[in-house]
Amino acid sequence: MTKDVVFYQLSSKFVDNDREIPDESADVLYYSLQIGHHTGIIDCFSEKFRCPYRAYLSLIEALPEESAARYKLEGVIRHGEIQIDKSHLATLVPALKELPLLEAPALLKALLAALDTIASQPSVYLMIRVQDA
């Protein structure tokens, strides 16, 4: 069985209407969009792109062994999924832009474009998961 690495991007958020939020707490609702699931906020993702597992490994292997960028992206291998948000941009973007041409240049291009989206829309983030193909 083969595996893919799937990149999902936050496409929207909504409030779980089964939970009542008192009027006096309505201002907190906007803050809760950032703190998430504990307050009934549900994130909706859409698949942005996918790549073969081997292509993802090639991307990781092209990064310096002890780098923070490599460690972050290896999280998919260790845990089956990772989240990338605006706090990861300073580590990932420079490291990825320094990579030589890879086996799968489309993967690098798509990932950098997704990171650009996060930079321009900080509430957006990526969820990256390993999935059986």
Per the rule left: phi > 0, alpha: psi between -120 and 50, beta: everything else, 80 is: left
What single DSSP character describes residue 80?
Answer: S
- pTM of full prediction above 0.85: no
Number of folded domains in the chain? Answer: 1
Instruction: Determine the Cα–Cα distance for residues 12 and 47; give it in Å rounded to an integer.
Output: 13
Instruction: Determine the Cα–Cα distance for residues 131 and 81; give it in Å rounded to an integer.
Output: 9
Compute CA distances 6 → 14, 15, 44, 64, whole Å.
23, 26, 15, 23
Instruction: Determine the Cα–Cα distance for residues 47 and 113; give it in Å rounded to an integer.
Output: 14
- Diameter of the chain measured on Cα atoms: 55
Q: What is the pLDDT of residue 67?
A: 96
Q: What is the pLDDT of residue 122?
A: 77
Q: What is the pLDDT of residue 16?
A: 54
Instruction: Determine the Cα–Cα distance for residues 131 and 105; give it in Å rounded to an integer.
Output: 21
Give the CATH number of the domain where residue 91 resides.
3.40.1760
Q: What is the pLDDT of residue 51?
A: 94
Give, for all 133 residues of the chain, the pLDDT tens digit.
799 999 998 865 555 555 565 555 555 555 555 555 445 555 677 889 999 999 999 999 999 999 999 999 999 999 999 999 999 999 999 999 998 766 668 899 999 999 999 999 878 889 999 998 7
Instruction: Collapse the DSSP code of 68 into the 3-class scheme (helix H, G, I; strand E, B; otherwise coil) and give the result.
Output: helix
Q: What is the pLDDT of residue 89?
A: 96
Residue 52 is part of which domain span? 3-132
